[in-house]
């Protein structure tokens, strides 16, 4: 039973345009959400997080939006760069972020120059 | 480098053999996690420690798996009588109690022949 779902296995975007990666969750106890980026043969790298008390968090080119009523979050990357090409994982945690992270299956982003 | 360190990075073994992986977390982090990742999947939680106490184990962690963190610093994950289904990337991560994000190591890839 997937509690965190990333329904798009892959996404292709042109350099300079916006990349939007989506994530849905089913567990209403989740209150802390994170996005990780992973290159081949490396461990996941933390990108950005958001607490359920917010609906938006921004860090440079990366913005995460949270819609609690829809149990949906998205990661926006603007402008997209070729170096952003990687697999992006959405993750969620409960109890103010104290329970182990539950990850989605990931979305492979390809940014085309 | 003060990141999470894992070794060996790659291990090839024959079915039925035992293997052990080591993880050295970021020194000031008191929580240490083990995850497993297979092709096309996100990281799946196995177990975590707070200092030397093992606080939670996933049902994915069969009796053949054992993890320790004897002095609250490094941790080991041992798999006994390996099976081909154990082939995966084993990821270690650490965090402080205060911050929610996990910092991952580069992983230990296990191939069981």
Nearest residue to B34 via CA among B19, B55, B13: B55
Mind telling me how many Å the CA of B59 is from chain A's nearest CA? 13
Q: In this complex, is the C-beta atom of B45 within 8 Å of any C-beta atom belonging to chain A?
A: yes
- Under 8 Å between Cβ of A30 and A93: yes
A49–B101 CB contact, under 8 Å: yes
A103–B40 CB contact, under 8 Å: no
Query: Rounded to an integer, what distance in angstroms lies between the CA atom of residue A52 and that of residue A9?
Result: 25
Model confidence pLDDT, tens digit, residues A66-110: 999 999 999 999 999 999 999 999 999 998 888 999 999 999 999
- Under 8 Å between Cβ of B34 and B48: yes
Model confidence pLDDT, tens digit, residues A28-69: 999 999 999 999 888 999 999 999 999 999 999 999 999 999
In B, minimum Cα distance to A101 occurs at: B45
> Given pLDDT bands bounded at 50, 70 and 90, which one contains residue B1?
low
| CA distances in angstroms from A51 to A25, A56, B93, B99, B100, listed in the order given | 14, 9, 21, 12, 10
| CA distances in angstroms from A74 to A29, A52, A58, A71, B24, listed in the order given | 18, 13, 12, 11, 33
Q: In this complex, is the C-beta atom of B4 within 8 Å of any C-beta atom belonging to chain A?
A: yes
């Amino acid at each position: 039973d997937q509690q965190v779902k990333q329904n798009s296995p892959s996404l292709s975007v042109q350099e300079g345009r916006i990349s939007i990666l989506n994530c849905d969750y089913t567990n209403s106890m989740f209150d802390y959400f994170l996005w990780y980026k992973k290159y081949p043969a490396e461990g996941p790298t933390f990108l950005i997080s958001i607490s359920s008390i917010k609906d938006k968090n921004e860090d440079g080119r990366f913005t995460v939006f949270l819609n609690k009523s829809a149990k949906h979050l998205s990661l926006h990357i603007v402008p997209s760069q070729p170096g952003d090409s990687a697999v992006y994982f959405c993750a969620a945690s409960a109890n103010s972020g104290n329970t182990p992270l539950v990850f989605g299956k990931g979305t492979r982003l390809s940014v085309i120059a | 480098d003060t990141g999470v360190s894992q070794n060996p990075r790659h291990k090839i073994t024959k079915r039925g053999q035992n293997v052990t992986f080591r993880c050295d977390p970021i020194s000031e982090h008191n929580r240490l996690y083990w995850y497993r990742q297979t092709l096309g999947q996100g990281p799946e939680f196995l177990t975590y420690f707070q200092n030397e106490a093992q606080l939670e184990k996933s049902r994915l962690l069969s009796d053949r798996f054992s993890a320790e963190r004897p002095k609250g610093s490094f941790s080991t994950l041992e798999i006994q009588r390996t099976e081909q289904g154990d082939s995966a990337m084993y990821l270690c991560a650490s965090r402080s109690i205060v911050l929610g994000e996990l910092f991952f190591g580069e992983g230990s890839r296990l191939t069981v022949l």
